[in-house]
Structure 1
């Protein structure tokens, strides 16, 4: 529990309420602070896995908490972007696809774990996550950049990246489902 990678993972979970609070009123300075916190969370996401592998401290707790921390942060960001009208109209579709896939893959992983089947993260899923984080970060940044850098197309970049992430989400979700279906026998 007290290894640095696990502390970093826990810090991401504990950062979620602060992130929500920062984005709650939608002022440009609070959104800018939320963007900074989101970037810091992204850095800790990379570092916790890297350090755990490099130090040989990969733990069952870390393996369990890391994807949960990621999913909690992604869901909170999407909810707050909807709350602040950065995700509206057709942009809700890719956001919904991302949230639904996260829930479905979590359920699939739980089912397969009981069957003692591992579902490793694919390279394409890692790309999906990177593009998804860029999309969400750009949308958060777009909430404040209009005030201090009006020509920065952060929101537009975020929307395009969100659609790309949703497309990759569908592809990787289907890949995971195909693997899972092989291990599901007849009812």
Structure 2
């Protein structure tokens, strides 16, 4: 492997993937949420820069082409695992998360099985948009989990409904000027919409890869 800047950025993104989960091991919430969000966004930005710089400086390599999708998948899978755990296993999140995780494992298995015929499953433009949608959705969901925990501290043990009643009675101030519901509910709602969009793109690209691989999955091929 040549230690070019694009390859180094890809390796740093791969190392950042487990770092997202480690934030919750060494820091208390909501600081863990904010550090994980910052680390995830920083790593996501390198996903654009490493490819751009590799093409600009003509430093594209087989190592980078191999490691780049692995780093992307590691980031998405680990982040989704963390978010689903801290979101209370929200079924509206579990379903799109399942679609995303299933597709990533399925396509990786297809590529491994096809071996030398792997180029037929090369990354498409829609797959790149899929990855972007996943990362944006995950970032917004991290924002939602962090705000939810912070708002829980501010409510001092009251439920959302109890706090809303106090706000409506003028006995408590709306949290962070987002109304009685608080900012976390809006961030989470936007994140859920985005993750469903990402899941739809994920399903479409997975089906496209499966369709392309069908001729090579028949006996005698």
TM score, norm. by length of structure 2: 0.78
RMSD (CA atoms): 1.9
**Paired residues for 1:1-187 under 5 Å:** 1-24=2-25, 27-85=29-87, 87-115=89-117, 117-146=119-148, 147=150, 149=176, 150-151=182-183, 153-186=186-219
CA distance in 2, matches of 1:46, 1:20: 22
Deviation at 1:183, TM superposition (A): 2.5
Structure 2 spans left out of the alignment, 5+ residues: 152-175, 177-181
Structure 1 spans left out of the alignment, 5+ residues: none
CA distance in 1, matches of 2:68, 2:142: 22
Say if 1:42 and 1:179 are closer, same or farther in 2 by CA, change over 3 A: same
Structure 1 residues 74-122: Cα deviation after superposition (integer angstroms, max 9, x where no partner): 1110111122126522321110110110111112222333236432222
Structure 1 residues 58-87: Cα deviation after superposition (integer angstroms, max 9, x where no partner): 111101111111111111101111221265
Deviation at 1:164, TM superposition (A): 1.2
CA distance in 1, matches of 2:119, 2:129: 23
Deviation at 1:23, TM superposition (A): 3.1
Structure 1 residues 36-74: Cα deviation after superposition (integer angstroms, max 9, x where no partner): 111000111111111111111111110111111111111
Query: After the TM superposition, which parts of structure 1 deviate over 6 Å for at least 4 consecutive aligned residues?
Result: none
